[in-house]
Each structure stands twice: as C-alpha cells, then as structure tokens.
Chain A
Amino acid sequence: MDYVGIISKLLICIFEAYIYYDFFKNIFEYRSSKKIVHIGLLALMAIAIWLVNCQDNSLLNVCMVPVLFFVFNCFLYKESIRNRILYVIVFFVVMMGIELIFEIIFSVACGLQHIEVMENPYNWTLIVMVEKTISLIVFRIIKYINNKIGNYIDRKLYRWVYILPITSLIIFVGFIYSDISIGVISIPKAILLMGCFMLLFSNAIVFYLFEKASQLMYQASQLEIHNMESKHYERIEEVNQEHRKFIHDLQHYLRTISSLSQQGNNDEINEVLKEMKYEVREIQSKTYCAYPILNAILCEKENQAKQLGIEYTAEIEPIVDLTKISKIDLMTIIGNLLNNAIEAASKCAEQRYVQICIRTSKEHFCDIQIENSIDKMPERRGNQFITDKEDKEKHGVGLHNIEEAVKRNNGLMHINVEEHRFAVEISLIIPMEEAVSQNL
C-alpha cells in the first residue's frame, strides 16, 4: 500500500475516534476528568482501528472494530455493562449502516466503474470522507433531537452550522466526479487531499466551538441568576433595616399616642395611626413575592423604571408559585418583557407607565400581564413585530426567545396592541406533580 493510502486511513481513523468520543460524551460519565487521558485513549483507539483496517480484511474489520469500541468505552466511561453493550451496538450499527447505504448508492451511480474508482487511493479517501461527513451529520442530529446540545443557544441559529458539512459533502463528491483524482500521484493532488482532510476536521472543530459557545452562554446566564439572587438578598437586608428602624420608632409613636390620649385628642391619634400604617405598607411594598429570582427581577426593573421617570406598578399575588419554571426561562420571559416595556415607555412624551400583574388562576394556571404605554404603533411584518432599535437582529432573537421559553413552559403568549397601549398576555400551566412525572 502506498503512503497516501496509509496516512489517509490513519486520519480517517482519528476522525472516526472523534465522532465516537463526541457521541458518547453526552451519554456516559467519564472515568477520568483529565483531557490528556481522553486524548491518549482516543489516539490509541484510532491506531488500533487503523491497524485492523490495514489488514484489508472486511470480516476482521466487522468483528474487531466493535470490540475495540467496547474495550475503549470501558477505559473512557463509567457505565453498566448492559448499557455499554447496547450503546456500542447502536453506534456501530449507525456507522456501518451509513457506510453500507452510501456504498450501495455509489455503486449504483457508478455502475461497473465502481471497483475501478475505488481502487484509486485518492478516490477511496474522498469517498470515505463523504461517508464520515454524513456520519458526523447523523450523530449530530441524534444529539440535537435528544436535546443534548443547543439548549442555551438559539436552536434556529444552531441549524445553520450544518451548512459546513453539507458544503464539504458537495466538495468531496465534486472532486470524485470531476476526475481530478484519477491518474498518477502528484504533489498538487496531495495538497488537495490535505485540504480535504482539513475541511473534514474543520467540521468537527466548528461543532466543538458551537458547543463551547453554548456552554459559555449557560455559564453567563447562571452568573446573571446569581447576581439577581444577590440583589434580592440585598433588598431583604434593606427591608430588615427598615423593620429595625420602625421598631425603634414604635416607642416614639406609642409615647405620642399615650400623651394624645391623655389630652383626649382622638383626631391626632388617628393621624399618628395612619402614619404608622403608611410606614408598614412602605416596608411591605419592597418585597413582591417570596421567590428570590422573580422578586429581584421586579425590584431591579422598578429601579430602572423610576430612574427613567416611568410609573411602575407591580401587582404580584403573594402565593404565586413560579418555582417550577426554570430560573433562566423566568429571566427570559419576565426580564426581557419588562426591558422591552420600560424601553418603549421611556420613549413616550407624555404618559409613561409599565404595569405587571402576575396571579394564579384556577389553581394550576398562572396569568401574567405586562402592559406599557407607547408613542407610536410598532411595525409588523406578518405576525412578527419589528423593533425600532438599531440592533434589530439582537432584538429579534430576544422576542423569539421569549416565545420559545413560554412554549417550553406549557404557555400561550398573546400580544395586544392598541393606540398608546402595548400589552403582552401570557398564560402558563404550572406543572403539577403529575405533569412533572409525565415529563411535560
């Protein structure tokens, strides 16, 4: 066998090892958390598969490769034997199935020339590249469907990544059919082949980077939640201080009432009592509800609205329970909608207001209404509202995210626009124990 074939086979085996690693990393738990151990074991697996492949014996290949997958799975991941065998078989069958289907299609397309085409090392390499690219796409789609990736990144945006493997496929097939690969081995052809390999590996790198970006977005949202919760506790501390101050003032109030009662001045006593009630209400109004993250969002937006001279009203039913909705989704829904409302209200010349009302309804439903004043009617494109912000793309994603988060939480969203009034109505079904057990 010539050196092009040998190197190509090795690179293909490395790529196959990557697909294997990528597929199993979201299913099983690592035995060792060290990256270097993973890389070392995968390199060993790639070499072992390559050695088997170099024997050019199909039967040996079919028997040995799944065994190698299983053995290295034992070294890499912690899992029960039953699950390990099951998943290795699934992985191998999908991998082999793709190769088989492609071989059949290719032999039908090429007819009798099939064997001749396959004998050329360039052609063989390009055909295997096509097979592996298809495998990568299939395994990625499996992960995508299982919701293992793209949770924190816009899923619609994520789909665009598939443009790269599809483009690669077109290029590889194009090379096979354009007869570039037929003939003697030359340096330009070797460079071309190297470029094809780099394209193949860049597919894997782009998917890896997208996943990293998704993880970073998740970490950023976790950090935001942490900040919000800290703000909630700061607010609680403020309320506690005011409570202490009120207790301190209570002595003064009681003395005043006592002296007024001695004078028989009932009107003044009523005034003092009114003042005391007012103070109690002021302290109470600083906490909207018991759920820290929701309370923090509401208080934060209240501050923003006040700074912009917007009248802010929040009516939150004390017993409202949104704890079953994830913190990220709650921030996406309430945070984004209040941001939009405050921004729109701040542009109004005269009446500036933002109102939010959250209440439970019929025991396991939740009704959220956010209303704000608007100066001009927002533009529409079909059912979608178009932002008048400069960064239109970013805003579009925000609205889309709100809708997605509402849907994820068994909800319905409706936008109602009238002259000088923009209202968003969200109806959520709060998951009961049974709904949780049914994975709804």
Chain B
Amino acid sequence: MYRIAICDDNLDNAKYLEKLIHKICGQKHALAIQIFQSGEDMIHAMNDEIDLVIMDMEMEGLSGYETAKILRSTNKQFILALCTGIVTPEAKFYDLKVLRYIMKDDPEEEIIERLTSLLEEIDHRRERRAVFFYGQGKGMSMRFDVDDILYIEHYKRKNWICVTQNAAHKYGSERIEIRESMEEAYAKVRRFGFGYSQYSFIANFSNIIGIKGRMIYFIYGKSLAISRRYKQQFEQDLRDFIREG
C-alpha cells in the first residue's frame, strides 16, 4: 500500500493530483491518500507511516517550505515533492531533500511522469530498507537497511558488513560478519549503487561524501582507498549511479 499525503490550500488541485495517482496505480496498488488544506492541519495529523508527501509551496498560513521543514525535523524517511505554479527556486529547499518538483501548469502527461517516478521511488526505498544477509548463527537471516551500510569488507578470510556509527546499535556492532561470499554480497546490493573499490572492499555510493585522488570518504570520518585496478570501473559505476538520479 502507498501512503500518500497531499497538502494544498486549493482543494481542486489536490483532488486533481489524487485522481492522477489513482489513474497511475489502477487496481495494482492499494492507496491511502490523505488531503490537507493547510500546513497546520497536516502537521497535527501526520504520522511516521507516510511514504510520500506532495506539498504546495504557496499556501495561506504556514508555507510549503515551513511545513516541510517542520515535518522533516521529525521524519527524514518520507519522500517529498513540492508542487508549485510559479518557479521560485531557492537554495534553502535543498536542505528539505526534495525529490521532485511538480509544476501545476505542466501538461498532464508530464505530471503523470513525475508522479510515476515518485511512486516507483516508494517501492525502491522499501526494497532498500530490507536487504537480507545470512549472519553467523545457523540459518540466521539479518535484515539491513542499505542506507546504514558503508561498505562490505573481506578481512581475515571472512566477509563483513560495516555500518554507519549511528546505525551500529541496530545491528549490535559496527562490523557484522556475514556468510555470503563477496560475489554473492555484491549481487545482492549492486542494484542499490555499490561498487568494488578494491578486491576486498565494496563501497556504498550513497554514503560517499568526498573523493580525493584515490581516496573515498564516507560519512562519520571513514575512508577507503581505490586500487589502481578497480579505479576506472569504480568511477564508471559511480557516474552511472549519480546519472540514474
């Protein structure tokens, strides 16, 4: 089921978007769409279970930006799309982690295209939140959120998943041993944007915050070297990952 919230002080616009979403999904997906006519209403009613928020930028009372900022302060997971009639781009919107802009004046096909990509992103994010690996106990399966993984490492004949400092409490440690081989682990995570930086390291592109020469830097101060042999392929994969959008 897709859980969607639309916030627009113009009810006709909100209904129009709702109609288009129903048109895209047809009978394939169950939908739970909530419509709010002000930022204040939305803030009072919102819960953490929401997948997608479509927010009008120009509203009476709390603006779209202000509402989204308040929502983001407590929930970083939902996908945010801003809906506007006139483009008033401002760099501050970058901090809201807006995934798409929907222009009200755009032709219906274009709006449908954007809504479709937003709905696909819901599926994609759900998949990212549940990648399973075999842990050390017999038949023990562990669920990983891709965004928590920094890299997969081959060390002392064993394979390990290294997670971010913040996520360590979820998994009990910053390094979790897995039973999959490096190739098997790579096959599981490749589509989420991972690449070999060395024979014994598979890096998660999403958590890279810098590249200097042959060094890649992750959040929370971790870094890895890229070997000469893997450099070209690594850069190619990273470029493809960024271009996919």
Chain A residues with CB under 8 Å of chain B are: 277, 280-281, 284, 287, 289-291, 317-321, 323, 359-367, 369, 410-412, 414, 425, 427, 429, 431-432, 434-435, 438, 440
Cβ A435 vs Cβ B217 within 8 A? yes
Cβ A361 vs Cβ B217 within 8 A? no
- In whole angstroms, what is the CA distance A438 to B185 when docked? 30
Q: How far is the CB of A435 from chain B (nearest CB, A)?
A: 4
Contacts of B91 in A (CB 8 A): 290-291, 319, 321, 323
Contacts of B193 in A (CB 8 A): 362
Give residues of chain B (67-110) contacting chain A, Cβ–Cβ below 8 Å: 82, 86-91, 93-94, 97-98, 101, 105
| Residue in A290, A364, A369, A412 whose CB lies within 8 Å of B209 | A364
B134 at the interface (CB under 8 A from A): no
Contacts of B105 in A (CB 8 A): 277, 280-281
Cβ A367 vs Cβ B90 within 8 A? no
- In whole angstroms, what is the CA distance A410 to B223 when docked? 14
Q: A290-B91, A429-B208, A429-B209 are in contact. Are A438 and B221 (CB under 8 A)?
A: yes
- In whole angstroms, what is the CA distance A434 to B244 when docked? 24
Cβ A410 vs Cβ B211 within 8 A? yes
Binds A, one of B10-18, B30-38, B234-242: B234-242
Cβ A319 vs Cβ B98 within 8 A? yes
Cβ A367 vs Cβ B243 within 8 A? yes
Cβ A440 vs Cβ B212 within 8 A? yes
Q: A318-B89, A438-B209, A440-B210 are in contact. Are A412 and B219 (CB under 8 A)?
A: no
B199 at the interface (CB under 8 A from A): no
Taking A280-B105, A438-B210 as given, write out 8 further A-B residue pairs in contact, using a Cβ cutoff of 8 Å, ordered by the A residue number: A287-B89, A290-B91, A362-B205, A362-B242, A369-B243, A427-B239, A432-B219, A440-B217
Chain B residues with CB under 8 Å of chain A are: 82, 86-91, 93-94, 97-98, 101, 105, 193, 205-206, 208-212, 217, 219-221, 235-236, 238-239, 241-245
List of 7 A-B pairs having minimum Cβ-Cβ separation, nearest first: A318-B89, A440-B210, A321-B94, A427-B242, A435-B209, A290-B89, A365-B242
Q: How far is the CB of A202 from chain B (nearest CB, A)?
A: 35
| Residue in A318, A364, A367 whose CB lies within 8 Å of B245 | A367
Contacts of B220 in A (CB 8 A): 434
- In whole angstroms, what is the CA distance A361 to B208 when docked? 13
Best-buried of A318, A361, A362 by chain B (most CB within 10 Å): A318
Cβ A431 vs Cβ B206 within 8 A? no
- In whole angstroms, what is the CA distance A440 to B222 when docked? 12
Cβ B86 vs Cβ A280 within 8 A? yes
Cβ A359 vs Cβ B245 within 8 A? yes
Q: A280-B105, A318-B89, A425-B243 are in contact. Are A412 and B212 (CB under 8 A)?
A: no
Cβ A438 vs Cβ B97 within 8 A? no
Contacts of A438 in B (CB 8 A): 209-210, 217, 221
Q: How far is the CB of A321 from chain B (nearest CB, A)?
A: 4
- In whole angstroms, what is the CA distance A414 to B235 when docked? 9
By beta carbon, the residue of chain A nearest B99 is A363
Contacts of A431 in B (CB 8 A): 209-210
Cβ B210 vs Cβ A367 within 8 A? no
Contacts of B86 in A (CB 8 A): 280, 284
Contacts of A317 in B (CB 8 A): 101
Cβ B211 vs Cβ A412 within 8 A? yes
Q: How far is the CB of B161 from chain A (nearest CB, A)?
A: 20
A-B contact pairs, 19 of them (CB 8 A): A284-B87, A287-B87, A289-B89, A290-B88, A319-B93, A320-B94, A321-B94, A361-B243, A363-B97, A367-B242, A367-B243, A410-B210, A410-B211, A411-B211, A412-B211, A429-B211, A431-B209, A432-B209, A438-B217
By beta carbon, the residue of chain B nearest A364 is B209
Contacts of A363 in B (CB 8 A): 97
- In whole angstroms, what is the CA distance A323 to B94 when docked? 11
Q: How far is the CB of A82 from chain B (nearest CB, A)?
A: 28
Q: A361-B242, A361-B244 are in contact. Are A435 and B87 (CB under 8 A)?
A: no
- In whole angstroms, what is the CA distance A290 to B65 when docked? 16
- In whole angstroms, what is the CA distance A427 to B193 when docked? 14
Contacts of B210 in A (CB 8 A): 410, 429, 431, 435, 438, 440
By beta carbon, the residue of chain B nearest A318 is B89
Contacts of A281 in B (CB 8 A): 105
Q: How far is the CB of B30 from chain A (nearest CB, A)?
A: 28
Cβ A412 vs Cβ B235 within 8 A? yes
Contacts of A425 in B (CB 8 A): 239, 243
Q: How far is the CB of A413 from chain B (nearest CB, A)?
A: 9
Contacts of B97 in A (CB 8 A): 363
Cβ A427 vs Cβ B243 within 8 A? yes
Contacts of B238 in A (CB 8 A): 412, 427
- In whole angstroms, what is the CA distance A427 to B245 when docked? 11
Contacts of B101 in A (CB 8 A): 317-319
Best-buried of A277, A320, A366, A427 by chain B (most CB within 10 Å): A427
Q: How far is the CB of B236 from chain A (nearest CB, A)?
A: 8
Q: How far is the CB of A324 from chain B (nearest CB, A)?
A: 9
Q: How far is the CB of B84 from chain A (nearest CB, A)?
A: 9
Q: How far is the CB of B163 from chain A (nearest CB, A)?
A: 16
Q: How far is the CB of B149 from chain A (nearest CB, A)?
A: 15
Contacts of B235 in A (CB 8 A): 412, 414
- In whole angstroms, what is the CA distance A412 to B211 when docked? 9
- In whole angstroms, what is the CA distance A429 to B208 when docked? 8
- In whole angstroms, what is the CA distance A270 to B87 when docked? 23
Contacts of B245 in A (CB 8 A): 359, 361-362, 367
Contacts of A435 in B (CB 8 A): 209-210, 217
- In whole angstroms, what is the CA distance A289 to B209 when docked? 24
Q: How far is the CB of B237 from chain A (nearest CB, A)?
A: 10
Contacts of A362 in B (CB 8 A): 193, 205-206, 241-242, 245
- In whole angstroms, what is the CA distance A257 to B219 when docked? 57
By beta carbon, the residue of chain A nearest B235 is A412
By beta carbon, the residue of chain B nearest A435 is B209
By beta carbon, the residue of chain A nearest B219 is A434
